[in-house]
Structure 1
Amino acid sequence: MKILVLLLFTIQISAQVGVNTTDPQQTLHVGSNTGTVRIESLDGDNSPYNAGDVDGDLDFTNNTYNLYVDALGNLTTEFKPLYNSNGSDAVDDAAIPVNFVTLTNSDTDGQADVQITLFEVTVARPAILEVKYNLSFDVYLDAAKTVISDNYARRISTYFVISGVGTRKYGPVSKCYSSGSTLSITGPMYNASTAYIQLPAAGKYDIQFYGEVSSNVKGGGGGTTSKAAYVEFATGYDAIFLRLH
């Protein structure tokens, strides 16, 4: 009787591999002044995130798409931000604790603000955070939604702050609203902005979005000329986009 014994060995080779080079400088080194790397799983026929020859000119070199690396080191053309409302309403005014802010005629500094919503981001290293937002609001004279008709302007501002990186207001943007007629049409208006923030270390960061309304404050003392206003935020379809770099 004959017995065949098959021995399987796992051999680990620590070496640098060179393609078109005899002196590789990295684990995988592709040499040549004109050489490129082609991964067919990422092309227009195999990847749903590669649009291929989108302009239809049969030139496959002038349609390029971003290449990303996921947490496992895999290469992909799929774009996955931290958060993307992607057409849905990012902030539901009925779901947030407080969606309005009131400014009175007697307000001493001529401004009032409210936190609209909050997002949490956790990073394992220092990073740059990209934030894009588009936040809606409606402007009235008071909580009864009386139409403003006094011809005085109210400034409605939006911005966000991030815990752990100071008190700076990021992405500030403002619009002024005024009306001289009770027949004026009300409805959602929008503030949109983009900002890039350096997150200095690993940890959790709170992104706090604020809305603010302000009007004139009389200079030199002697009281205020601020005008009453009532602003509701997140009344339309809001958009928020978060990405790490």
Structure 2
Amino acid sequence: MIKKYLFFTSLLCLNAFAQTGVGIGTTNPQQQLHLAGATGTLRVEGLNSTNNPYNGGAGKTYPLYVNSNGDLTLQLATFQNSDGTDALTSSTPLITTNLTMIAGAGSSTQSIVILPYTITVNRAAVLEIKYNISFNVYSTAVLTKIKDIYARRISTFYTVDGGSRRYGQASKCYYNNNQDIVLANAAEGTMYNSSTTYIPLTAGTHTIRFYGELNTGDVRKNTHVVFAPDNDSVFMRLY
């Protein structure tokens, strides 16, 4: 009976102490777990380089995250990460990513949605977006080379929830001045626009739309831009 009584008393003391917190190096814990002292730290061997594949080894440090269960982890979870695969393929929910301008009257600036992406967050957050979008520039839809004296500006950007503000703007200029040369070998090949931005989001569902834009100067010129012909990447992460 004495042993049972002592054991029961110990449990009562432990529970009473646990309700106020556990202190290491202090008798007055201010949190449920309180490590006191100027050099106090915490070691979790399940997160070291021997036991965790997301730990790259000695001499380096890595961000620590918390998953939905409250577990500490080194694994980075993202809303979108193409991670070397092509983010814009035939399975992307679009009719076309080609933009064609015909010479004549009208605006010399045209744009097209390259990729719409919907994201839902349950708290106010900051969204990091990195993208790399490829494109080719031609004179016509049959992929004729451009051989004139006019420059083309090819831009990419994205909007949030259909707003007018442009985020992550990037541009390249394509130009050939060889129309008087019969056998001119006009430059061709794939070019890329890349950008990294951080934007604030309120709680709720938001639509991110990536755009491609073409400008031919003061007047419209025959131009055909093929967006996403090569390996493209999109990365999104919440903070």
Give the alignment's TM-score, normalised by structure 2: 0.86
Please state how far the C-alpha of 1:21 moved relative to its aligned partner: 1.0
SS of 2:100 mapped into structure 1 = strand
Q: Describe the shift of the 1:209–1:107 C-alpha distance in structure 2 as closer, same or farther (beyond 3 A).
A: farther
C-alpha distance in structure 2 between counterparts of 1:184 and 1:24, whole Å: 73
3-state SS in 2 of match to 1:195: strand
**Contact residue 157 and residue 212 of structure 2 kept, 8 A:** yes
Equivalent in the alignment of 1:59? none
Could you tell me which amino acid in structure 2 is paired with residue 75 of structure 1?
Answer: L
* Alpha-carbon distance in 1 for matches of 2:110, 2:91: 21
Cα contact 1:100–1:233 (8 A) shared by 2: yes
Which amino acid letter does the alignment assign opposite residue 198 of structure 1?
A: P
Q: Distance in 2 between matches of 1:162 and 1:64?
A: 34
Aligned pairs for 1:35-54 within 5 A: 35-53=40-58
Letter paired with 1:229: T
2:11 aligned with 1:14: no
User: Which whole-Å CA distance do the structure 1 matches of 2:109 and 2:32 have between them?
Assistant: 60
Match for residue 134 of structure 2? 136
The one-letter code sitting in structure 2 at the alignment partner of 1:195 is: T
Partner of 1:58: none
Alpha-carbon spacing, 1:79–1:30, altered in 2? closer, same or farther (3 Å): same
Decide whether the 8 Å contact of 2:134 with 2:232 is kept in 1. yes
Give the residue type in structure 1 aligned to 2:154. I
Aligned to 1:78: 75
Aligned twin of 1:34: 39
1:93 shift after superposition = 5.0
Find out whether 1:244 has 2:238 as its counterpart.
yes
Which structure has the highest helix share of the two? Answer: 2
- Structure 1 residue 94: Cα displacement: 6.9
Answer yes or no: is the 8 Å Cα contact 2:20–2:29 preserved in 1: no
Task: Check conservation: 1:131, 1:195, Cα contact below 8 A.
Answer: yes
Task: Identify unmatched segments of 5+ residues in structure 1.
Answer: 1-7, 54-61, 218-224
Backbone CA RMSD of aligned residues:
1.9
Q: CA–CA distance in 2 between the matches of 1:234 and 1:107?
A: 28
What pairs up with 1:115-130 in 2 under 5 angstroms? 115-130=113-128
2:189 is aligned with 1:192 = no
Structure 2 residues without counterparts, runs of 5 or longer: 1-7, 179-183
Alignment match, 2:144? 146
What TM-score, normalized to structure 1? 0.84
Identity %: 42
Within the candidate set 91, 112, 115, 1:114 is matched to 112
In 2, are the aligned partners of 1:93 and 1:99 still within 8 Å (CA)?
no
Hey, what's the Cα distance between the residues in 1 that align with 2:125 and 2:31? 26
CA deviation after TM superposition for structure 1 residue 227, in Å: 1.9
* Separation of aligned partners in 2, 1:188 and 1:120: 28
Q: Which amino acid aligns with 1:44?
A: S
| 1-structure distance, mates of 2:27, 2:103 | 79
Aligned to 1:220: none
Go from structure 1 to structure 2 and tell me whether the alpha carbon gap of 1:146 and 1:137 turns closer, same or farther (over 3 Å shift): same
- Residues 155-194 of structure 1: pairs in structure 2 closer than 5 A: 155-163=153-161, 166-181=163-178, 182-194=184-196
The runs of at least 4 consecutive aligned structure 1 residues that moved more than 4 Å come to 10-13
1:93 touches 1:233 (CA, 8 Å); kept in 2? Answer: no
Q: How many positions carry a matched residue from both structures?
A: 220
